[in-house]
Amino acid sequence: MEGESKEKLASVSSLVTVFENSRTPGAASRVCKLEIEHHCPGGRAPPPAEPWKEPNLGETLQGSEPRMVSRRYLSSLKNKLSSGAWRKSCQPGTHPGLGTQEPEEKRIVQELLETEKAYVARLHLLDQVFFQELLREARASKAFPEDVVRLIFSNISSIYLFHAQFFLPELQRRLDDWIATPRIGDVIQKLAPFLKMYSEYVKNFERAAELLASWTDKSAPFQEVITRIQSSEASGSLTLQHHMLEPVQRIPRYELLLKEYVQKLPAQAPDRADAQKALDMIFLAAQHSNAAITEMERLQDLWDVYQRLGLEDDIVDPSNTLLREGPVLKISFRRSDPMERYLFLFNNMLLYCIPKVIQVGAQFQVRTRIDVAGMKVRELTDAEFPHSFLVSGKQRTLELQARSQEEMISWIQACQAAIDQIEKRNETFKAAVQGPEGDTQEQELLSEELGLRAPQWVRDKMVTMCMRCREPFNALTRRRHHCRACGYVVCAKCSDYRAELKYDDNRPNRVCFHCYTFLTGNVLPEDKEDKKRGILEKGSTTGSEQSIMCGFLQLVGDKWGKSGPRGWCVIPRDDPLVLYVYAAPQDMRAHTSIPLLGYQVTAGTQADPRVFQLQQSCQLYTFKAETEELRGRWVKAMERAASGWSPREPSDGDLSD
């Protein structure tokens, strides 16, 4: 190493000797350049004509103005080179004439300056080489649009000018004058607000990467320009994507270096307050950049949803936020098997979609849009459809089934969080507090909201007769219809009325006569008034909600018919000595009623322990429960009723599930 150093020193000394002897204008200009570089280390040379190529020294110097150099300056330079004083003055970590080590904070500032120089060189490559060369190729060949190039590089030109003309020179000047002014906090405070321009670049980064990949594949001239520059020495064998990532990572790098700088500063350092304030400003700029990334991801999610919906309806607004999406099963009020559906939950609406069989251009078709404002959600207790929940909105009410209990809870929580957020923003759309299923508070709200929100439709198979006139349905003369106001299953005669419903934009809808009277205030003709209720006309819905015991029982024996149908059996709390048997859970009239007082209740045989019987005189009724545990509860309830026991308190004797 010492031999090589001596050889280099000798060659430099010889070069100075040549300069002394030859006073040509060309030689003088070369020495002038050395003098400028020695006294102005921060000076910038003119940019080369082709930035990815190394400039030719001869071409650079050929056009400089001739200048005579004094013999005194050349002798001084030669003496410095010979004595080694010039090399010692340029060694990092020392001051001329001092052997002490530089403080830690200055070392960090030097690292900041060196990384800034490398970063500006990378920005120069992006803006002045890649960007400009692609623009020139786009104008010359017309093989790809100029707008694509501008979209890829976003505001990289502004970022490059800011760092090359302002930030880097300020850092360089402050480090050169470090002995007199050992501080950088004030410089960073002055320039930190301009770092917010990174938000635009970061927000556009993912879109830029997609455009870059797309046009590289489909445009040969586009690919040729990028490949040529990437293979140059200036690119360092790195791809354009790698260089484009540098601005995204730069602000976190500033934050780390400045945090270390503040930690190394002495407690009484004059730059401590300014440096801490500058660190806070850099932190805000980093947050601004992170917020841009979050916003970019949010808009990307919206765009994906918009594409999957076929771009047909303008329902995805940039102000929306996608909260949750996923498949669910729709519980049909007519079909026995649930249907596959898909939900998109936004901060202001729920999209109820149907998957398309032929997915050409779109994966889903929007069937219903339900506003979150005024929406309610709660769990359903349905043994036939586990993990089910109810979404009730102004436009429609849906009974949905999730794939698991955890998924159902997740959907309910997501919907409720969106509802709560809407309520906080707009007090006029507060949803009423809802109780559990069957709560009297829920029933009180139904009459107040009749026609204002879509009702929950009663399923067809849950009733065998009209829920208003109690006449049994059949396939020919008495078919099932739904009242659009209350959701009851009614016959054609009872639903031969129309009323305007606010949730359906005040369009006339089929309603039952009860809802027609409530909504319009019109009095029904005498021939259409409700008849006097018979002894069996006790609604099973009311009985089920306020019952001692209720549930399905298999009806065994000739008394019930050979088919052995399954009946919905209820012992009402307000009539605890009678067993009502319905054909379906929500029928308004019982199929039969059995006064239990005086009956003897006997357990079944060992052949089927789920069977039990009611016997009195010549009357014998045989029932079969679904489980032995249910059989025991039914036997206990009927024995109480047979002995004449009646509940005194609302919770006494409640054996229902």
Q: Tell me the per-residue pLDDT of 406-435, one tens digit each, with 9 for 90 and over.
A: 999 999 999 999 988 888 776 543 333 333
pLDDT of residue 482: 87
Q: Which of 339, 336, 324 is nearest to 377 (CA)?
A: 324
pLDDT of residue 618: 76
Phi-psi region of 459 (alpha: psi -120 to 50; beta: other; left: phi over 0): beta
Measure Cα distances from 33 to 17, 74, 145, 452 in Å. Answer: 17, 13, 43, 85
Stretch among 44-58, 184-198, 368-382, 598-612 having the lowest mean pLDDT: 44-58
595-602 long-range contacts, Cβ below 8 Å, gap at least 24?
596/571, 596/638, 596/641, 596/642, 597/641, 597/642, 597/644, 598/642, 599/638, 599/642, 600/642, 601/635, 601/638, 601/639, 601/642
587, 464 contact by CB (below 8 A): yes
In this predicted structure, the answer to whether residue 528 has a pLDDT above a threshold of 60 is: no
- Tell which wins on pLDDT, 196 or 525: 196
Average pLDDT in the chain: 75
The stretches of 22-155 forming alpha helices (DSSP H) are: 25-39, 57-62, 71-83, 85-89, 104-124, 132-141, 146-153
462, 585 contact by CB (below 8 A): yes
pLDDT of residue 447: 61
Distance CA 651, CA 8 (A): 103
Query: Concatenated DSSP letters for 488-510?
Result: -EE-TTTT-EEEEEGGGTTEEEE
Distance CA 290, CA 639 (A): 70
- Tell which wins on pLDDT, 156 or 536: 156
Largest CA distance in the chain: 143
37, 109 contact by CB (below 8 A): no
Distance CA 238, CA 118 (A): 14
- Tell which wins on pLDDT, 621 or 12: 621
Token pair 């009872």 is found at 494
> In Å, how far from its chain's centre is CA 241?
26
Cβ neighbors of 528 (< 8 A, separation 6 or more) are: 513
307, 331 contact by CB (below 8 A): no
Q: Which tokens belong to 279?
A: 């660190």
570, 582 contact by CB (below 8 A): yes
Token pair 């002014």 is found at 181
Distance CA 646, CA 573 (A): 8
pLDDT of residue 561: 57
Distance CA 130, CA 216 (A): 13
Token pair 């010549």 is found at 618
- Tell which wins on pLDDT, 487 or 5: 487
Rg from Cα positions in the chain: 43
> In Å, how far from its chain's centre is CA 343?
14
Percent with pLDDT over 90 in the chain = 16
pLDDT of residue 305: 81
In this predicted structure, the answer to whether residue 127 has a pLDDT above a threshold of 90 is: yes
Average pLDDT over residues 400-404: 91
pLDDT-based confidence at residue 476 (cuts at 50, 70, 90)? low
In this predicted structure, the answer to whether residue 444 has a pLDDT above a threshold of 80 is: no
Q: Are strands 578-582 and 566-572 parallel, antiparallel or unpaired?
A: antiparallel
Q: Which tokens belong to 345?
A: 């939950």
Half-sphere exposure in the Cβ direction for 637 (13 Å, CA)? 28
pLDDT of residue 565: 76
Distance CA 645, CA 284 (A): 74
pLDDT of residue 413: 93
Token pair 């594949």 is found at 217
In this predicted structure, the answer to whether residue 47 has a pLDDT above a threshold of 50 is: no
pLDDT-based confidence at residue 24 (cuts at 50, 70, 90)? very low
Q: Would you call 563 helix, strand, or coil by DSSP?
A: coil
In this predicted structure, the answer to whether residue 117 has a pLDDT above a threshold of 90 is: yes
- Tell which wins on pLDDT, 388 or 530: 388
Percent with pLDDT over 70 in the chain = 70
299, 425 contact by CB (below 8 A): no
Numbers of helices and strands, H then E, in the chain: 21, 18
Q: Are strands 592-595 and 578-582 parallel, antiparallel or unpaired?
A: antiparallel
pLDDT digits (tens, 9 = 90+) for 86-98: 333 334 444 444 4
Angle in degrees, CA 153, 157, 159, rounded to 5: 100
In this predicted structure, the answer to whether residue 20 has a pLDDT above a threshold of 50 is: no
Q: Which tokens belong to 48?
A: 């080369």
Average pLDDT over residues 390-401: 87
In this predicted structure, the answer to whether residue 46 has a pLDDT above a threshold of 50 is: no
500, 527 contact by CB (below 8 A): no
588, 537 contact by CB (below 8 A): yes
Cβ neighbors of 26 (< 8 A, separation 6 or more) are: 61, 62, 66
Give 450's DSSP letter.
Answer: B
Q: Would you call 500 helix, strand, or coil by DSSP?
A: strand
pLDDT-based confidence at residue 215 (cuts at 50, 70, 90)? very high
pLDDT-based confidence at residue 598 (cuts at 50, 70, 90)? confident
Q: Which of 357, 394, 391, 359 is nearest to 376 (CA)?
A: 391
Handedness of CA 279, 282, 286, 291 (dihedral sign): positive
**pTM score:** 0.42
Q: Are strands 600-603 and 611-616 parallel, antiparallel or unpaired?
A: antiparallel
Q: Which tokens belong to 635?
A: 């036997």
pLDDT digits (tens, 9 = 90+) for 328-376: 998 887 777 888 999 999 888 899 998 887 766 678 888 888 888 888 8
571, 544 contact by CB (below 8 A): no
